[in-house]
Amino acid sequence: MHLDTLPDAARPGDGLRDLDTVRVVSRAVTAPHLFTYLAPETAEEAAELGVTDPGPVYLAFRSAAMGAVPWHVTLAAFYNFSPRAVRAMAGVWDAAPPEQWQAARFRAAGRAMRRVNVHLTGDHSAEARSLIDPVVAGADYAGKVLAAANASVVLPTDPLVALWQQITVAREWRGDAHLVVLVDNDLGPCDCLVLHTATGRLPTAVARATRQWDDEEWNAATARLVARGWLDSDSVMTDAGSAARERIEVETDEHCATLWAPIGNAGARRLASLIEPITDAFTAAGTFEAVHEPPQVATA
Judge whether 300 lies within some domain: no
Q: How many CB atoms lie within 10 A of CB 196?
A: 18
In a domain, 176, yes or no: yes
CA distance readout (Å), 165 to 158, 169, 291: 11, 6, 22
- What percentage of the chain exceeds 70 in pLDDT? 91
Main-chain phi, psi angles of 227, to 5 degrees: -65, -30
* Cβ 17 vs Cβ 77: under 8 Å: no
pLDDT, average across residues 267-273:
97
pLDDT score of 277: 96
Average pLDDT value for the chain: 91
Q: Is the pLDDT of residue 11 over 60?
A: no
Contacts of 95 (CB under 8 A, 6+ apart): 49, 50, 51
Question: Which of these, 29, 6, 2, lies nearest to 155 by C-alpha position?
Answer: 2
Whether residue 298 lies inside any domain: the answer is: no
Domain that holds residue 222: 3-291
Q: How far is the C-alpha of 297 from the C-alpha of 261, rounded, in Å?
A: 19
pLDDT at position 16 is 59
8 A C-beta contact, residue 87 and residue 71: yes
- In whole angstroms, how far apart are CA 108 and each of 48, 95, 101? 11, 18, 10
Task: Please state, as a whole number, how many other Cβ atoms lie within 10 Å of the Cβ of residue 22.
Answer: 25
Residue 94 placed within a domain:
yes
Q: What one-character DSSP code corresponds to residue 156?
A: P
Structure confidence at residue 293 as a pLDDT band (50, 70, 90): low
Neighbours of 208 (CB within 10 A): 17
Judged against a pLDDT cut of 70, whether residue 8 lies above it is answered with: no
Give the CA-trace dihedral at 114, 119, 121, 125, to 10 degrees: -80
Residues, the chain = 300
198 within domain boundaries: yes
**How many domains does the chain contain in total?**
1
Split at pLDDT 50, 70, 90, the class of 201 is confident
Q: What is the pLDDT of residues 187-198, one digit of tens each?
A: 999 999 999 999
Alpha-carbon distance of 207 to 42, in angstroms, equals 20
Instruction: Give CA–CA dist 183/188, Å, rounded.
Output: 7
The per-residue pLDDT for 222 is: 97
In a domain, 297, yes or no: no
Q: What is the pLDDT of residues 75-94, one digit of tens each?
A: 999 999 999 999 999 999 99
Write the single-letter amino acid at 273: S
296 in any annotated domain: no
CA angle in degrees (0–180, nearest 5) for 59-168-24 = 125
- More confident of the two residues 12 and 39: 39
* 3-class SS of residue 231: strand
In this prediction the pTM is 0.91
Would 188 be classed as within a structural domain? Answer: yes
